[in-house]
Amino acid sequence: MRALVTGCAGFIGSHLIESLLRDGHTVVGVDCFNDNYGRSSKLRNLERARDWDGFDFVPIDLSRGHVQDLVDESDTIFHLAAEPGVRASWGQRFDSYLRNNVLATQHLLEAVRADTGKRFVNASSSSVYGQAERLPTEESVRPQPFSPYGMTKLAAEHLCSLYHGNYGVETVSLRYFTVFGPRQRPDMAFHLFCRAALLGEPVTVYGDGTQTRDFSFVADVVAATRAAGAAANVAGGVYNIGGGSQISLNEALALIAEMAPRTLEVHHLVTQDGDVKHTAADTTRAARDLDFAPDTPFEEGLCMEFEWLADAIGSAKARGK
């Protein structure tokens, strides 16, 4: 397979391309290095992939650049590129969310419609549900985004449905539930918590810490994403991808405290706009159609993220940064 992976320098994208390369596939990776976090961190995410001859990297802004040639040369498109984050999606940055989450998706789908035999896997988000009506939440629950970010991810899903219904494009949308693990984005909770614990800095929690998330380990998410690219009879489908571990932030902090070299100092601030109280994925459909069965225990995954960040901080200190 020759795969096109957008957002290849990001957290999930970099793990996906390594998984594909290890299995002998050829990968073209696309990323525009948007400014949600540092370019140097994203380049480090690609260090292992660059060791494979089967990996080509193309720096391009999908919302502006010409993508037809990239799509034409690929068998499967894994569209992970996005402007991420709930809290940053308000106000003046909203145009970035429209450009990178909606317009970029439309450009890719326009390129794919010329060859409807290609599978188009779209990375969506549990944020489309907002304050979900039912927990655990199945795909039939009415989406009610609670943030501009969630709204743009739902819009991208709708575009996929439109191109499937009108042109037969083989789209599959995956609603990821709070992915964690090594290389997690610097703005995400566990990265912030682990980093503060390692550096002896205060930990900031928005809300009282009783809010829960269905945390999904990155390797399990990668397995589901690859399955969506190959499974039969899934075109036009939407699937929840969750880890099956609905954990409160307070429970996660207790585990991090056990790994930390010193006592954690926790500060609580008011809940931020767009934050929801609870998420939980019903993954029955993904288990049936994608053979999805997450097998990384939450504690093990959190330990791997903590150890990865400890190594990253140690390496940065060795470089004098």
Q: State how far the Cα of 125 lies from the Cα of 202, in Å rounded to an integer.
A: 29
Cα–Cα distance measured from residue 11 to residue 302, given in angstroms and rounded to the nearest whole number = 15
Q: 206 an active-site residue? A: no
The active-site residue out of 149, 163, 176, 239 is 149
Is the CA virtual torsion 74, 24, 13, 37 positive or negative? Answer: negative
| 303 three-class SS | helix
Report in angstroms the alpha-carbon separations of 314 from 255, 298, 301.
Answer: 21, 24, 20
Give one DSSP letter per residue of 168-236, joined into a string: --EEEEEEE--EESTT--TTSHHHHHHHHHHHTPPEEEES-S--EEEEEEHHHHHHHHHHHHH-SS-TT
- Which residues form the catalytic set? 149
